[in-house]
Amino acid sequence: MMKFKLLLLLAVLPLSMLLLSCTSGKEKPYKVSRIAMDTLVSITVYARSEEKAEKAMDNAFKELNRLSDLLNFFSETSEVALINRSAGVSPVKVSKETFEVIEKALSVAEDTGGAFDITIGAVSSLWDFHKKTLPDPELLKKSLKSVGYKNIVLDKEHSTVYLKKKGMKIDLGAIAKGYGADKAVAVLKNNGIRSGLVSVAGDIKTFGAKPDGSSWRIGIKNPRPQSEGEELIAVLSLGNNAVSTSGDYERFFIKDGIRYHHILDPSTGYPASGCRSVSIITKEGVYTDAFSTAVFILGSERGMEVMRKIGLEGMIIDDEGNISTTEGMKGAVELVRKH
Ligand code: ADP
Ligand code: MG
């Protein structure tokens, strides 16, 4: 009897292993890149058929477009635009998504002593990185008075947002893309995808294992490549996680030898100094996005402190090119080069 069971086990084992490898063997990668949320979005999924992959990816892009319609700072018809137009006038009833992003943005503002502040809108709208011109200093000074996240009033019960002072503007540019990556991944999962990657510019989220068991690998850009072949500074292995990178090399111009970029210190209205690039890893893209911007503004030392306190993993490249990583990150990061 015993022998029979053993034989049965032996017979069944390889068969089940074969089945497993067959099904996973059928999963192939599919990738689509499109413009969404005003940037380049790439989605990769593993699926058994092209039809299943395309349907899932299509739905994920629809979700990103829906969110963009709610959260876009530059569109007149978004909920964010309506909130900004109603500053100092009246609270605005918003969708649960808009409310959730603003609520989370406020928690990051609290956690970072106001380095992260979505009311930066009054100031960020004065900077033009295409025209490469500095804002008028007087105007900048005046607009700084409209910055202060403590003047945002949230009413959860009625799902309303109110900006207390006229002239205040919220800009979700440092948090919406990461939130979008989270939501796009949720849509892929609801469409039966078990393994995939969504990147909304520098905000990336991965889930599930690849059929061959290898982990998702994400390249981190070198903020100061000197020549061809120096594009990457590190490679990260990512499991069921999100990673975001904020850098001074994405949207910037150089004038009179000074680099002006789009990550602004809310206490001055000018670009934050001290870092070239910050990458943060955690479960949710909404937080990796917000904290990568916030830690960039805090600078290497204070940024590391906040990361330790909150339990975030990450990597900072300071303004001299020095690289610091948190303890937990050390196993996941492979440096390509020092500078
Ligand atoms: P990217 O948009 O390149 O991914 P970030 O996520 O770091 O980079 O976001 C930068 C954007 O965030 C800016 O373009 C601006 O819209 C907004 N922003 C700038 N400074 C701040 C700040 N101190 N707090 C919150 N948002 C900010
Ligand atoms: Mg960000």
H-state helical runs in the chain: 2-26, 50-71, 79-85, 96-111, 121-124, 137-144, 176-190, 285-298, 300-310
Give residue 243 CA to ligand 1 midpoint distance, Å: 16
Question: How far is 274 from 194, CA to CA, in rounded Å?
Answer: 40
Per-residue pLDDT of 140-170, as tens digits, reads: 999 999 999 999 999 999 999 999 999 999 9
CB 218 within 8 A of CB 34: no
Please report the pLDDT score of residue 331 as a whole number: 84
Neighbours of ion ligand 2 (CB under 5 A): 174, 289, 292-293
Beta bridge partners of 93: 160
Count of CB atoms situated within 10 Å of the CB of 77:
10
Please report the pLDDT score of residue 332 as a whole number: 86
Please report the pLDDT score of residue 24 as a whole number: 47
Question: How far is 301 from 339, CA to CA, in rounded Å?
Answer: 19
Mutation to probe ligand 1, out of 124, 205, 260, 316 (largest number of atoms < 8 A from CB): 124
Residue type, 24: S
Please report the pLDDT score of residue 10 as a whole number: 43
Per-residue pLDDT of 301-338, as tens digits, reads: 999 999 999 999 999 999 999 999 999 888 888 888 65
Please report the pLDDT score of residue 25 as a whole number: 54
Residue nearest to atom 9 of ligand 1 (CA): 174
Q: What is the DSSP letter of 239?
A: S
Contacts of 201 (CB under 8 A, 6+ apart): 39, 40, 41, 177
Question: How far is 92 from 86, CA to CA, in rounded Å?
Answer: 7
Closest ligand relative to 105 C-alpha: 1
The response to whether residue 173 sits with its C-beta less than 6 Å from ligand 1 reads yes
Give residue 289 CA to ligand 2 midpoint distance, Å: 4
The response to whether residue 72 sits with its C-beta less than 6 Å from ligand 1 reads no
Question: How far is 61 from 97, CA to CA, in rounded Å?
Answer: 16
CB 104 within 8 A of CB 287: yes
The response to whether residue 293 sits with its C-beta less than 6 Å from ligand 1 reads yes
Residue type, 40: L
Ligand 1 atom nearest to CA at 290: 6
Contacts of 191 (CB under 8 A, 6+ apart): 52, 55, 56, 59, 60
Cα–Cα–Cα angle for 322, 252, 219, nearest 5°?
50
CB 37 within 8 A of CB 67: yes
Question: How far is 159 from 156, CA to CA, in rounded Å?
Answer: 5
Closest ligand relative to 261 C-alpha: 1
Q: Which stretches of the chain score pLDDT less than 70?
A: 1-25, 337-339
Question: How far is 234 from 219, CA to CA, in rounded Å?
Answer: 6
Please report the pLDDT score of residue 5 as a whole number: 43
Please report the pLDDT score of residue 338 as a whole number: 53
Length of the chain: 339
- Going by C-alpha positions, the residue among 310, 338, 63 that lies closest to residue 181 is 63
Give residue 14 CA to ligand 2 midpoint distance, Å: 48
Q: What is the pTM of this model?
A: 0.92
Residue nearest to atom 5 of ligand 1 (CA): 174
The response to whether residue 277 sits with its C-beta less than 6 Å from ligand 1 reads no
